[in-house]
Amino acid sequence: MKRRSFMKTTAVAGAAATVAPAIWSEAKAQARNETLLLVTESPPNSMDIHGVGTNRPAYEVSWNTHDRLITYGVKKDANGNDHYDYTKLEPELATDWNVTPTSATFKLRKDAQFHDGTPITAKDVKWSFDRAVSVGGFPTFQMAAGSLEKKEQFVVVDDGTFRVDFLRADKLTMPDIGVPVPVIMNSELCKKNATATDPWAMEWCKNNLAAGGAYKVERWQPGQEVVFVRNDEWKNGPMPKVRRVIQRIIPSAGNRRALLERGDADISFDLPSKDFAELKTAPKLTVIGTPIENAMMYLGMNVNQKPFDNVKVRQAVAWAVPYQQIMDSVMFGQAIPLFGGADNKYKGSYWPQKDGYKTDIAKAKALMAEAGYPNGFETVVSFDLGLASTNEPLTILVQESLAQIGIKASINKIPGANWRGELLKKNMPMITNAFGGWLNYPEYFFFWCYHGQNAVFNTMGYKNLTMDAFIDKARFTSGPEYDAAVKGFIDIAFEEVPRVPIFQPLLNVAMQKNVTGYRYWFHRQLDYRQLVKG
């Protein structure tokens, strides 16, 4: 198998009206039931999940083109739809594994190979894990979330056997091996494209794949589309039914919906909530909505910048957010409220959960006066333009409500391809943003978002040693001690509100009736391998 080169262009997708008439032109050569067209709002900005600033659409590329040692099983949710099962680990590149108190040893498939035909061996697995813990940023922190921290932990026993030595007893170590980050890469191909200043071939991997997963990238036109073709030599799972997948970028939500309703597109995730609410009542399409586990939409405040270093200012903002208005006129009921609870106290060892805040402008004004800002102040609130269909109307409502307590907030719209990079700088005073923890444990979410040592998704720069101690305790304990630790960090989060929870989002997907096999995944991206088009 020869590695395909990418045809690249910097053209930005224009109005969908210019795309729609020819939307199936490339697929006509293939049988319609073997080609899946998905339309989406935001394009991937990289082919490398380990890259700096790699965005969520790029996770979808990586998930479908790379293998991991293990994956997750499947169960049915309350509505009878397929849902990944985080309690069940299943084989992918590894056929089986043996876990002891000190290590996990994986046996690799003997016939597995990369897209270019190179056999996959344990040295590729070690190189890939070494890379993930060495490049810094998100991938390295993700590995650390499961106590995968040092290259010395990863051992080549022989060509077909790989071992992970444990640093400590951590219930998240094995689940963390099945998330999107620890992908298995073609180490020799990467080394050929590495340099003295770029030993992990980060620059080359932005635009090229060194992978062996179920799909190859046949063509990538940044900002316009990604075309995937099935890897017919794939051995690490059931052969996908869909031969070809076209991911077309259509910035206009109205045009994405029109393409679906006409039958010209097969599937779409990121329509506005109003569209999903209306489409659920229409007979033409199948619409599935799943609460995103361990996730929330929030309004964040940078605690290292005045005036948001003042907890009373942050509390004032929390009492000023127009929660119900957002639920009604932005989400159209397609979300789970995280406001208006009985109080700002722990309600159980689960996450997310309701806090006690609700819209109370008088209370917000009083707190502003107590904080020394009776006349308010000026600030900037930023959002990800790549998800503008939700973020923009929500941010405008927040802006209008903050004005009632004297906060004059201008709006900063950041292109989706740049959003992750801007978050990492941690210099935005206010943001509206959604975050979901891949592993469904409260301490996992708090490790990412509230721990003072976390340089990635602790976007508010929040540091509290007591909070850190509770998070660390919960990560490595169980029983009553665990519950006490979770109570400790939730109570602090509600009291100090560096980020104001607004709602738990649903992952909505609309598809043609003849598309089946959809499965909800914690990473909130499509897995093409299970999809079937009748």
Question: For position 161, what pLDDT does the model report?
Answer: 98
Position 6 confidence tier, pLDDT thresholds 50, 70, 90: very low
Q: What is the dihedral of CA 127, 132, 193, 525, to 10 degrees?
A: 120
Interatomic CA distance for residues 392 and 529, integer angstroms = 33
For residue 19, pLDDT over 80 is answered with no
Q: Hey, CA dihedral for 391, 392, 393, 397, is it positive or negative? A: positive
User: For residue 352, is the peptide bond before it cis, meaning its omega torsion is within 30 degrees of 0?
Assistant: yes
Question: For position 9, what pLDDT does the model report?
Answer: 35
What is the per-residue pLDDT across 358-384, written as a single tens digit (0 to 9) for each?
999 999 999 999 999 999 999 999 999
Integer CA distances (angstroms), 270 to 13, 39, 254, 262, in order: 17, 9, 11, 17
For residue 456, pLDDT over 90 is answered with no
Interatomic CA distance for residues 324 and 391, integer angstroms = 16
Question: For position 411, what pLDDT does the model report?
Answer: 98
Position 15 confidence tier, pLDDT thresholds 50, 70, 90: very low
* DSSP codes of every residue in 167-206: SS--TTHHHHHTSSSS-B--HHHHHHT--SS-TT-HHHHT
What is the per-residue pLDDT across 233-284, written as a single tens digit (0 to 9) for each?
999 999 999 999 999 999 999 999 999 999 999 999 878 899 999 998 878 8
Tell me which of 8-12, 99-103, 253-257 is least confident. Answer: 8-12
For residue 209, pLDDT over 60 is answered with yes
Question: Which of 179, 181, 133 has the alpha carbon at shortest distance from 153?
Answer: 133
| 290-310 average pLDDT score | 97
Tell me which of 94-98, 287-291, 421-425, 516-520 is least confident. Answer: 421-425
For residue 12, pLDDT over 90 is answered with no
Q: Architecture of domain 295-505 in CATH?
A: Roll (3.10)
With a CB cutoff of 8 Å and minimum separation 6, the contacts of 80 are: none
The residue that leads in pLDDT, 417 or 324, is 324
- Please tell me which of 41-55, 171-185, 273-287 the model is most confident about, judged by mean pLDDT: 171-185
Joined tokens for residue 67: 């293998």
Integer CA distances (angstroms), 291 to 83, 146, 179, 413, 436, in order: 11, 24, 19, 27, 11
Integer CA distances (angstroms), 462 to 4, 311, 448, 459, in order: 45, 11, 11, 8
Position 424 confidence tier, pLDDT thresholds 50, 70, 90: confident
For residue 29, pLDDT over 50 is answered with no
| Long-range contacts of residues 192-197, Cβ cutoff 8 Å, at least 24 apart | none
Q: Give 75's DSSP letter.
A: E
Give the rounded percent of residues in the chain with a pLDDT score beyond 90.
86
- Average pLDDT along the chain: 92
Question: For position 32, what pLDDT does the model report?
Answer: 72
497 residue type, one letter: V
Helix (H) or strand (E) segment spanning residue 64 = helix 56-65
Integer CA distances (angstroms), 140 to 47, 51, 132, 174, 186, in order: 17, 11, 6, 16, 19
Tell me which of 25-34, 44-53, 100-109, 480-489 is least confident. Answer: 25-34
For residue 214, pLDDT over 60 is answered with yes
Position 33 confidence tier, pLDDT thresholds 50, 70, 90: confident
Q: Give 438's DSSP letter.
A: S
What are the sequence ranges of the domains in the chain?
16-253+513-533, 295-505
Helix (H) or strand (E) segment spanning residue 382 = strand 377-384
Q: Give 71's DSSP letter.
A: E
Interatomic CA distance for residues 219 and 7, integer angstroms = 6
For residue 285, pLDDT over 80 is answered with yes
* E strand intervals along 415-474: 430-436
Joined tokens for residue 334: 């397609």
Fold of 16-253+513-533: D-Maltodextrin-Binding Protein; domain 2 (3.40.190)
